[in-house]
């Protein structure tokens, strides 16, 4: 099969997350006022980092999505 899409998703959202968190911390009063008083960049950035972590951990825990037939024989019983 092809390369693992989870790594790409994890990587892209990790980069986006870091950018948005930094921008969110630097946001001035004007940006915050525009977003109804919410540091929306910061919160979206944190959300993206969590998503990135989920994809990367999932890929680490189950490297191939296709389960190895040999270690599933016991699980089916």
Partner 1 sequence: MLALAPQDLRLDVNALDYLILALYFAVVVGIGFAARRAIRSSSDFFLAGRALPAWITGLAFVSANLGAIEILGMAANGAQYGLMTVHYYWIGAIPAMVFLGIVMMPFYYRSKVHSVPEFLRRRFNPATQLFNAIAFAVAQVLIAGINLYALALVMEALLGWPLWLSVIVSAAIVLAYITLGGLSSAIYNEVMQFFVIIAGLVPVVVLGLIRVGGFEGLGQKVRESVLGDGALHTWSNTATTDNPLGANWIGIVFGLGFVLSFGYWTTNFAEVQRGLSARNTNAARLTPIVAAYPKLLIPVVTVIPGLIALVLFSNLGKDGGPEYNYAIPLLMNEFLPNGVLGVAVTGLLASFMAGMAANISGFNTVFTYDIWKGHVNGEKSDEFYVRLGRIATIGGVVAGIGTAFIAAGFSNIMNYLQALFAFFNAPLFATFIIGLFWKRMTPWAGFWGIIAGTLAAFAVYIPYRAGILDLGTDLNASFVAAGAAFLVDAVISVVITLVTTPKPEEELRGLVYGLTDVDLKDDSIAGDKAWYRSPVILGSGALVLAAAFYLPFL
Where does this chain bind partner 1 (CB under 8 A)?
Answer: 1-3, 5, 8-9, 12-13, 15-16, 19-20, 23-24, 27, 31-32, 34-38, 40-41, 43-44, 47-48, 51, 65-67, 69, 72-73, 75-76
CB of 53 to partner 1, least distance (A): 14
CA distance 77 to 70: 13
CB of 29 to partner 1, least distance (A): 11
- The residue among 8, 12, 14, 16 whose CA lies nearest residue 53 is 14
* Residue 64, C-beta contacts closer than 8 angstroms, at least 6 positions apart: 1
């Amino acid at each position: 099969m092809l390369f693992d899409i989870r790594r790409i998703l994890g990587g892209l959202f990790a980069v986006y997350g870091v950018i948005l968190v930094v921008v969110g911390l630097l946001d001035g009063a004007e940006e915050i006022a525009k977003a109804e008083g919410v540091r929306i960049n910061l919160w979206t950035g944190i959300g993206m980092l969590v998503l990135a972590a989920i994809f990367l951990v999932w890929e680490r825990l189950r490297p191939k999505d296709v389960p190895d037939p040999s270690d599933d024989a016991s699980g089916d019983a």
